[in-house]
C-alpha cells in the first residue's frame, strides 16, 4: 500500500487526486493516482503508448510506444521518491542551473525545478496523443512544460522572464535511456562536434566517430544537431532523439565507481542506461530580456532494426 506520513496526509493526497482527475483526467487515458511513495503521478494509457509522470519535478518517468516490448526510459530501482529530492531516471529537468551552482556550493545540484512540485495547467487528447502542460515559477522565471505522449514522446520547456531585469539561466532535459547493454551501443549524430570532457576539464576536438562507452563518460557537446541515434543491437532498435533549440548535448554514463558512489543508483545499473541530454548550458546558457521567452524541446522515438 501507499506510504503516507500520516492519515491527514493520506486524506489530503486522495482529495487532491480526486480534484486533479475531475479537472484534468482524460477518461482511462490519463488518470492521476498516488505512487506507492505517496507522490502524485499521472498515468497515460492510449493506443499509441503508455507513460507516466510525477508532479514532483514535472518528471517524466516512463514512456513505451505500443510497438516496443520494453520502456525507452531508464528508471533506477534505487530511486528516492520524496519532495525536495530528485527522482533518479526518466527525464529530470535541470534548471535554472546545470550541475553545481557556481555561486552557492550548498545549493542543490542541477537546480530547483526537479525537486519541487509543479502545477497542472491543462491536459488535452488529440487522437491517440495525450498532452499535459505543467507550470512553475522559479526566481521570476516562468516554466511551462508540455509533455506529449503519442507514438513518440515530445517534450517542450518554455522559459519566460517575468521579472523586471534581464536574466541568464541554464536548462537541460536530462534524459535517461534504457539500454540492453551500454557496452554494445553506439551513439551517432555528435561525431562532428567538439566537447568539454567534464572529467578531465579538457576541451576535445570532434572525434569523427560514433560514441562507444568503455568507461565513465561525462561530455558536454557544443553545437546544434538535428538528430541523435542510439543504436542498440541487443534490443534490435534505434532510439531517435531530435533536439530543438538546443545548443548543448550532454552525454553521460557513470560506469562502475560512480555508480557505487550514488546511493539512489544500483551498482550495476550503469550497464542498462546512458543519458543523452538536450540542453543549453555553460557558454550556450540562455539569456532572457524582460518578458522574453525561449524554449528547448526534444522528440524521442524508436526505429526497430527489422523495419
- Interface residues with ligand TA6 (CB under 6 A) are 86, 99, 109-110, 174, 218, 250, 252, 275, 277
Q: Shortest distance, CB of residue 86 to ligand TA6, whole angstroms?
A: 5
Q: By CB neighbour count within 10 A (0-12 exposed, 13-18 middle, 19+ buried), where does 24 fall?
A: middle
Q: Shortest distance, CB of residue 165 to ligand TA6, whole angstroms?
A: 28
Q: Shortest distance, CB of residue 97 to ligand TA6, whole angstroms?
A: 11
Give 186's strand partners: 231
The nearer residue to ligand TA6, 143 or 281, going by C-beta atoms, is: 281
The nearer residue to ligand TA6, 59 or 174, going by C-beta atoms, is: 174
The nearer residue to ligand TA6, 110 or 247, going by C-beta atoms, is: 110
Place of cell 560506469: 255
Q: Coil, strand, or helix at residue 296?
A: strand
The nearer residue to ligand TA6, 170 or 277, going by C-beta atoms, is: 277
The nearer residue to ligand TA6, 46 or 253, going by C-beta atoms, is: 253
Radius of gyration of the chain measured on its C-alpha atoms: 19
Q: Shortest distance, CB of residue 120 to ligand TA6, whole angstroms?
A: 24
Rounded distance between C-alpha atoms, residue 241 and residue 173, angstroms: 12
What does DSSP assign to residue 86? -
Rounded distance between C-alpha atoms, residue 193 and residue 207, angstroms: 8
Q: Shortest distance, CB of residue 268 to ligand TA6, whole angstroms?
A: 17
Q: Shortest distance, CB of residue 110 to ligand TA6, whole angstroms?
A: 5
Q: Shortest distance, CB of residue 150 to ligand TA6, whole angstroms?
A: 27
Rounded distance between C-alpha atoms, residue 181 and residue 188, angstroms: 16
The nearer residue to ligand TA6, 19 or 268, going by C-beta atoms, is: 268
The nearer residue to ligand TA6, 166 or 204, going by C-beta atoms, is: 204
Amino acid at each position: 500500500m501507499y506510504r503516507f506520513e500520516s492519515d491527514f496526509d493520506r486524506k489530503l493526497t486522495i482529495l487532491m487526486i480526486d480534484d486533479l482527475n475531475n479537472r484534468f483526467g482524460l477518461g482511462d487515458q490519463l488518470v492521476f493516482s498516488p505512487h506507492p511513495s505517496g507522490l502524485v503521478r499521472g498515468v497515460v494509457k492510449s493506443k499509441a503508448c503508455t507513460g507516466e509522470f510525477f508532479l514532483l519535478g514535472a518528471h517524466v518517468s516512463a514512456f513505451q510506444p505500443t510497438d516496443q516490448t520494453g520502456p525507452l526510459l531508464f528508471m533506477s530501482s534505487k530511486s528516492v521518491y520524496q519532495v525536495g529530492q530528485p527522482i533518479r531516471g526518466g527525464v529530470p529537468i535541470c534548471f535554472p542551473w546545470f550541475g553545481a551552482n557556481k555561486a552557492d556550493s550548498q545549493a542543490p545540484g542541477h537546480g530547483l525545478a526537479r525537486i519541487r512540485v509543479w502545477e497542472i495547467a491543462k491536459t488535452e487528447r488529440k487522437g491517440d496523443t495525450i498532452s499535459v502542460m505543467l507550470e512553475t515559477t522559479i526566481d521570476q522565471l516562468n516554466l511551462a512544460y508540455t509533455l506529449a505522449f503519442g507514438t513518440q514522446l515530445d517534450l517542450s520547456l518554455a522559459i519566460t522572464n517575468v521579472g523586471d531585469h534581464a536574466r541568464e539561466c541554464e536548462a537541460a532535459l536530462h534524459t535517461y535511456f534504457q539500454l540492453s547493454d551500454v557496452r554494445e551501443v553506439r551513439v551517432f549524430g555528435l561525431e562532428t562536434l567538439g566537447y568539454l570532457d567534464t572529467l578531465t576539464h579538457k576541451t576535445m576536438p570532434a572525434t569523427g566517430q560514433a560514441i562507444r562507452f568503455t568507461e565513465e563518460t561525462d561530455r558536454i557537446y557544443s553545437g546544434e544537431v538535428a538528430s541523435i541515434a542510439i543504436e542498440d543491437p541487443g534490443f534490435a532498435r534505434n532510439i531517435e532523439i531530435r533536439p530543438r533549440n538546443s545548443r548543448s548535448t550532454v552525454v553521460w554514463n557513470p560506469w562502475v565507481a560512480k555508480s557505487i558512489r550514488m546511493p539512489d543508483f544500483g551498482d550495476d545499473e550503469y550497464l542498462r542506461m546512458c543519458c543523452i541530454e538536450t540542453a543549453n548550458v555553460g557558454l550556450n546558457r540562455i539569456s532572457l530580456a524582460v518578458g522574453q521567452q525561449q524554449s528547448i524541446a526534444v522528440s524521442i522515438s524508436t526505429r526497430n532494426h527489422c523495419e
